[in-house]
Structure 1
C-alpha cells in the first residue's frame, strides 16, 4: 500500500468529464478519451458487419483501389456525346428526385435548363412541362458516371470535362463551372444566366476541347490528380477553395488555347473567364474523386462509402459493398456565413454532388491544409485543424499523395467507413455553398454541414443483411 501511495497516479477517463475534472483539480494528470456509445439500434448490425470475415480484406481492396487511380483530363464534349443525353433528358445532383419533391434551386435549374434547350419559350413556362412529365425525364448524374455541383443540372447541349483512368480506361464526367452568384447550379435562371450558358456552349466549350486535345496529343493529358496533390499544399482544399488549382490548369491549357486558331477575342474572353473564376477547377476535382471512388464500387463486404450526394431535399450515400443502392435522409441546412442581407431563413437545405470531394478525403476532410477556408465557410483555424484530425477516426486510412503540411505531411483521411461512423457517432464534415430556397435567387452563402445521422445505420443494416446472406449461402 505504501508503495502504491508513493507512485504518481495515472488516470484515464472515458466518457463524461465529471471524474476527469475532479481529478484534474487535484493536480493529477488525466488522459481523456472521447468516447460515446454506438448510434442507437446499431449494436447487433455492428457485431455482424465487424465480425464479417470478408470485411477486412474487402475494405483493404477498396481503399487500395481508390488510392491507385490517377485521373487525367482527356477531352471536353457536349453532354449529348459524353454521356448520351437525348433531348428532354436532364441529369441532376444527388439521389433520384421527382419534380414534385424538388427543392427551389433544383426547380430553378431545371427551368433554366429547359429554356436553354428550347423545350419552352421561357423558364417560367417550364413548370407545366415538368408537371406533365411529357417528353422529359430526370436522372442522377451518378447514374451516368457523372457529378454535378449544387443542383447539378446537365442538359444535352452543355459541355462536360472527360476524365480517364489510364490504367483501366474508366471515365467520369462533369459540366463546366459557371462561377459564383446568380448561376444555374444555384437555381438562378435569369437572362444573364442563360446568356452565359450559351456562350459557354458556343465559345468556351469548343476552345477547351481544342486546347485539351492539343495538349493531350503533344505533351500528354493534364494530370488532374497531380494538380490536386500540388494545390493541397498551396492552400486549397479542392471544394470551396480552388484558386491554386484553377491557375495551374490555366498554365497547362493556355498555350494550346492561344495557338488553337480560335478568334483572339474569344480566346481572351475564355482566359479572362477562367482566371476570374476561382471555382473553375472544382468541376475537375469532383470527377477526379468520383473516378477514384468508383474503382471500389461492387466490392462485396466492403463498408466504405463511395458517394455522398444531395439534391436539396434528400442526402444520400452509396457504399462499396451494396452496389448502386442509395441510403437517404433529409438534407440539412448548413451553418455558415451569408451574403449581403441573407440569413438562415433564405437558405435551402444542402444540395450538390460536390461532397464527392469529402468522400475521397479532401474538401472538409482537408480543412487543415486550407486554413483560409474558414473565412468563407465560418469557424476558426483551430477548428479546421481539429476537423481533419477528427475525420481520421472514421476513415480506413490516408492518402499519401494528398498530404497536409501543417500536420507533418500526414495524408488526408480517406475511405469513410460506415461501421466507424456508427461506432463513434462522428459524422463526415462537408464544406458547402448555400443556395437560396426560392427558385431564381442564386447563392446566399457558404458554410459547413454534415449528413443526417440516420443514413449510416440504414447502410449498416443492409451490409449486415448481405453478410448474413453470404453465411447462409
Structure 2
C-alpha cells in the first residue's frame, strides 16, 4: 500500500516505490518518506510515553547534561587502587553474567586474567576455579563506573585510565588498550598475551601515569572533537586520536627520567597501536552519559553493552535496570580463513561510543572505516543520517564535515526506536567463538529488537504510576 500527499512543491510518498517511480518518470517532484509501522505490541506504551508531561523536558535535560560534560584524563593507576578490587574479584563487559552462561572469549579472558593475578599457574586450570565460584566474583564494569572493550575483563593488577568531570568530580575508568589480534580482551591467553599484560602493568601503566600527572589534565572531549574531523569515528578508527594523545604526553615521557629503553618501548607500543585512544574514548562517553542517569521521564538510552551472550541497555528514566536480549553475530569482514561459524556473538562495552553518538553513528566522519568493517562509503553516509531519526538531538561539539557539519546524532530515544523500527548501528570487532583464539574479524551489528519494547514498557509503567 502506498499513501501520498501533494504539497505545493511536489508529492510526498510512503510505502512501496512503484507509484513514486512512476511520478519520477513523469518529471513530478517526489519526496519519498521511509515510513514504517511501530514495533509490534508497542502502540499503547508509545501513546502513554508520548503523553507523559515530563518527557520533553526530561529528554532535553538528559541531552544537555550529556553534551555539556567535559571529560579530562587525570591519572593512570591500578584497578586495585582505583576501584578497590581485591584478589579474586573480576569485572567484565556487558550486563550481569554468570560463568555457566559465559561465551568462549569471555571465558578465555577470565582464564587469562586469573593466571595474570597468580590464582592459577595455567589458564586452563582457571576453569575449575570459576566453576566452583568459591574464591572469585564477577561483576559488570558498568556497575563500577568503568567500561571495558570486548570481554572487558578487569583484574586488580591492571592499570586504568581515570577520566574526570572537573565540575562535579565524577569519574570513569577503563583499562589500557593491548592492540589487535591475539589479546586478552578477545579471549586469548597464550604466554605472549600474559607477558604483554605484565609489561603493561610494570612499565606502560606507571610511565603513562607519571606523564599524565606531569602534563596536567588532558582534554579527552576536545580530542574527540578534533579526531572526528580527521577521519576517526572513535570506535574502530582511533588513529588521529592516538597520535594527538601521544603528542600531548610525549614531552613528559621524554623528561620522566625513566630508562631510555622503557621510554622507547612505550613510544613504539602506543604509536603502533591505532586503537590505543579507544580506551579513553569509551570512558569519556560513559562519563557524559552517566550525567543523564536518573532523570525521571527521560526515554534516552545511557548505556548499550554486550557480554558475548546478552546485549543490554539502560535508560536515563529507569535507573540501573538492564533490558537484555540475545547478542547478535556481526556481519562483516573476516581475517585469514575465518568465517561466520568462527565468530562469537557481539561482545564489549565499546558500544558506549554509539550510545554517545559516535562510532557507528558517526561513520560518515570516517569513510575509510568501511574497509575494516564492510559496507561502502554511501552506506556510511546513509547510516549517520538514519541514526538521526532515532535520536533526540545533535551534539554541537562533535560534527560531521561531509554532512555540512551536522552534529552527531545524540541521545538514542527508546520511543523513536520503537516507533520507527530503526535499530542503532554499531561497528565492532569480532572475537573467536572458542576461548583462546582472539580476533577473527570486524563488522556491523545491531541490538536485538526486543530490548527496546521492554525498556519502553518499563518507562510507560513508571508514567502510569505517576498519574
Instruction: Name 1:207's counterpart in structure 2.
Output: 207
Cα separation, 1, equivalents of 2:173 and 2:33: 43
Instruction: Name 1:289's counterpart in structure 2.
Output: 285
Shift of 1:9: 8.6
Instruction: Name 1:32's counterpart in structure 2.
Output: 32
Matched, 1:250 2:246: yes
Shift of 1:11: 2.2
Cα separation, 1, equivalents of 2:267 and 2:24: 60
- Once the two structures are superposed, residues 78-98 of structure 1 have per-residue CA deviations (whole angstroms, 9 ceiling, x without a partner) of 000111111100000000010
Instruction: Name 1:3's counterpart in structure 2.
Output: none
Q: Which runs of 5+ in 1 are unaligned?
A: 1-6
Instruction: Name 1:116's counterpart in structure 2.
Output: 116
Question: Pick from 312, 315, 339: which aligns with 2:308?
Answer: 312
The alignment's C-alpha RMSD in Å is: 1.1
CA shift in 2, pair 1:9/1:149, >3 Å? closer
Shift of 1:318: 0.3
Shift of 1:26: 3.6
SS of the residue 2:268 aligns to: helix
Matched, 1:228 2:217: no
Shift of 1:63: 0.4
Shift of 1:145: 0.1
- Once the two structures are superposed, residues 335-363 of structure 1 have per-residue CA deviations (whole angstroms, 9 ceiling, x without a partner) of 11000010111000000000000000100
Once superposed, which parts of structure 1, at least 4 consecutive aligned residues long, lie more than 4 Å away?
none
CA shift in 2, pair 1:106/1:9, >3 Å? closer
Question: Pick from 267, 272, 275: which aligns with 1:276?
Answer: 272
Cα separation, 2, equivalents of 1:23 and 1:231: 43
Shift of 1:16: 2.1
- Once the two structures are superposed, residues 139-169 of structure 1 have per-residue CA deviations (whole angstroms, 9 ceiling, x without a partner) of 0000000000000000000000000001110
Matched, 1:450 2:449: no
SS of the residue 1:146 aligns to: coil
CA shift in 2, pair 1:396/1:9, >3 Å? closer
Cα separation, 1, equivalents of 2:232 and 2:404: 17
Instruction: Name 1:403's counterpart in structure 2.
Output: 399
Which one is further off, 29-38 or 132-141? 29-38
Instruction: Name 2:415's counterpart in structure 1.
Output: 419
Shift of 1:28: 2.7
Shift of 1:31: 1.7
TM-score normalised by length of structure 1: 0.96
Alignment of 1:124-203 (within 5 A): 124-203=124-203
Instruction: Name 1:63's counterpart in structure 2.
Output: 63
Matched, 1:261 2:241: no
CA shift in 2, pair 1:198/1:61, >3 Å? same
Matched, 1:438 2:434: yes
Matched, 1:389 2:385: yes
SS of the residue 2:47 aligns to: helix
Any conservation in 2 of the 1:309–1:354 contact (CA below 8 Å)?
Answer: yes
Instruction: Name 1:358's counterpart in structure 2.
Output: 354
CA shift in 2, pair 1:226/1:12, >3 Å? same
CA shift in 2, pair 1:437/1:28, >3 Å? same
Q: Which runs of 5+ in 2 are unaligned?
A: 1-6
Cα separation, 1, equivalents of 2:448 and 2:25: 38
SS of the residue 1:400 aligns to: strand
Cα separation, 2, equivalents of 1:204 and 1:17: 57
SS of the residue 1:464 aligns to: helix
Cα separation, 2, equivalents of 1:450 and 1:227: 27
Any conservation in 2 of the 1:9–1:28 contact (CA below 8 Å)?
Answer: no
Any conservation in 2 of the 1:362–1:412 contact (CA below 8 Å)?
Answer: yes
Shift of 1:23: 3.1
Cα separation, 2, equivalents of 1:24 and 1:389: 23
Shift of 1:21: 2.7
Instruction: Name 2:3's counterpart in structure 1.
Output: none
SS of the residue 2:214 aligns to: helix
| Corresponding pairs, count | 461
Shift of 1:365: 0.5
Cα separation, 2, equivalents of 1:50 and 1:390: 21
Cα separation, 2, equivalents of 1:128 and 1:32: 59
Matched, 1:84 2:84: yes
Cα separation, 2, equivalents of 1:415 and 1:268: 41
Which one is further off, 14-23 or 232-241? 14-23
Any conservation in 2 of the 1:89–1:155 contact (CA below 8 Å)?
Answer: yes
Shift of 1:8: 9.2
- Once the two structures are superposed, residues 305-335 of structure 1 have per-residue CA deviations (whole angstroms, 9 ceiling, x without a partner) of 0000000000000000000000000000001
Cα separation, 1, equivalents of 2:184 and 2:449: 30
Question: Pick from 270, 290, 294: which aligns with 1:298?
Answer: 294
